[in-house]
């Protein structure tokens, strides 16, 4: 469980002997499950872990003075990526709330140079995009041997959190999100960039119901000859559940259609409550994107408008040239609806998600 320090560890093991289990506990395992296992048993143990972590956090002593960087007081962490940590921060000069992304040097000592180059490249690329549906970069630099990016703070939830908490979204909720996401991607592509990691957790929805694309950390310029110098040979880039087939085969060949594929995968997830392919490992997910055709959207979500379902299915075509471009997507979205921006459903979903999370945390704390 990522929010705990130290982490709460559940061991999945094929070794059932008592001595094996005791060895696991001696090296720091908190709970265990023997293979083969029932998924419901794993979910139950995860629930136990959440309650345990909540209890431990209530018992933690108050932290010392909060860190100050670039005139910003770092508050609670908002999330952690492969090479960085994002904090909520308050600017001392005017009290404005911001998000601060710090390079996580401690976790990558041996690969520090590569991560540093990627981090600095993200600063450069993200600063090129100014759009209402893309998280803005406000400042960047180095301080005390730490690279940082200061971004606008989005007061809301990610689409991933809303889906996880609330289940599938209605078509009335998804349509304005689809337009806004297409607009943000057009701005990114218009600067000669590809995002390469469009997924529900990178789509932030604020309290006004507006979507903003976050995390350009994997973005690259459409024509960038030195990409391989920043990408390990044979490595894939992106999130397997939403990754385009061509990105899996060869990251250097991925162009704007790769973001369109991920766009379709995110909308598919929003309407059904799950990604186009269900997979238990990254390898299974990647093989599914390469070799399988996802179930038609209307099969998983029969109430979805046929035109919208057809558009999303088209975005998930295996061949990049068979996918619609963002201009066609925007036109088809506008032609297929009244053009109004129904916000009430979205705001209700965001509000309900927030309240559900609050109830869940409260429940965890009382159990």
Q: Residues with catalytic annotation? A: 197
- For residue 118, what are the CA distances in angstroms to 111, 123, 231? 11, 9, 9
Residue 341's SS3 state is: coil
Element (H, E) at 100: strand 97-103
- For residue 141, what are the CA distances in angstroms to 30, 38, 82, 116, 150? 40, 48, 20, 12, 9
**What is the distance between the alpha carbons of residues 78 and 85, in angstroms, rounded to a whole number?**
8
Task: Compute, in degrees rounded to 10, the torsion defined by CA atoms 72, 75, 79, 84.
Answer: 40
**What is the distance between the alpha carbons of residues 268 and 174, in angstroms, rounded to a whole number?**
10
Residue 81's SS3 state is: coil
**What is the distance between the alpha carbons of residues 129 and 194, in angstroms, rounded to a whole number?**
11
Element (H, E) at 139: strand 137-143
- In the DSSP assignment, the letter for residue 361 is H
**What is the distance between the alpha carbons of residues 331 and 307, in angstroms, rounded to a whole number?**
12
Residue 333's SS3 state is: helix
């Amino acid at each position: 469980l990522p929010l705990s320090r130290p982490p709460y560890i559940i061991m999945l093991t094929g070794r059932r002997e008592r001595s094996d289990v005791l060895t696991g506990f001696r090296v720091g395992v908190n709970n265990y499950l023997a293979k083969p296992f029932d998924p419901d048993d794993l979910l139950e143990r995860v629930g136990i872990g959440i309650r345990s972590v909540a209890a431990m956090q209530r018992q933690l002593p108050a932290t010392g003075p909060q860190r100050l960087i670039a005139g910003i007081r770092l508050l609670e962490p908002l999330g952690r990526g492969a090479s960085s940590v994002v904090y909520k921060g308050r600017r001392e000069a005017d009290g404005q709330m911001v998000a601060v992304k710090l390079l996580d040097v401690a976790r990558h000592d041996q690969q520090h140079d590569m991560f540093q180059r990627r981090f600095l490249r993200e600063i450069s690329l993200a600063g090129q995009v100014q759009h209402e549906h893309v998280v803005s970069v406000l400042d960047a630099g180095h301080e005390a041997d730490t690279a940082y990016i200061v971004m606008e703070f989005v007061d809301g939830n990610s689409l991933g959190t809303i889906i996880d908490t609330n289940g599938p979204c209605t078509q009335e909720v998804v349509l304005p999100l689809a337009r806004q996401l297409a607009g943000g991607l057009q701005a990114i592509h218009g600067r000669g960039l590809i995002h390469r990691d469009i997924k529900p957790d990178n789509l932030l929805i604020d309290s006004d119901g507006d979507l903003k694309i976050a995390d350009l950390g994997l973005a690259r310029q459409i024509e960038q000859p030195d990409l391989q110098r920043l990408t390990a040979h044979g490595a894939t880039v992106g999130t397997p559940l939403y990754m385009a087939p061509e990105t899996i085969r060869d990251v250097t060949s991925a162009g704007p259609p790769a973001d369109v594929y991920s766009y379709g995968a995110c909308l598919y997830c929003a309407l059904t409550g799950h990604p186009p392919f269900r997979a238990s490992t990254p390898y299974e997910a990647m093989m599914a994107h390469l070799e399988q055709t996802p179930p038609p959207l209307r099969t998983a979500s029969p109430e979805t408008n046929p035109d919208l379902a057809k558009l999303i299915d088209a975005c998930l075509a295996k061949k990049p040239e068979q996918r619609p471009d963002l201009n066609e997507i925007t036109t088809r979205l506008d032609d297929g609806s009244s053009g109004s921006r129904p916000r009430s459903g979205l705001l209700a979903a965001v509000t309900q998600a927030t309240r559900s999370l609050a109830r869940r945390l409260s429940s965890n704390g009382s159990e």
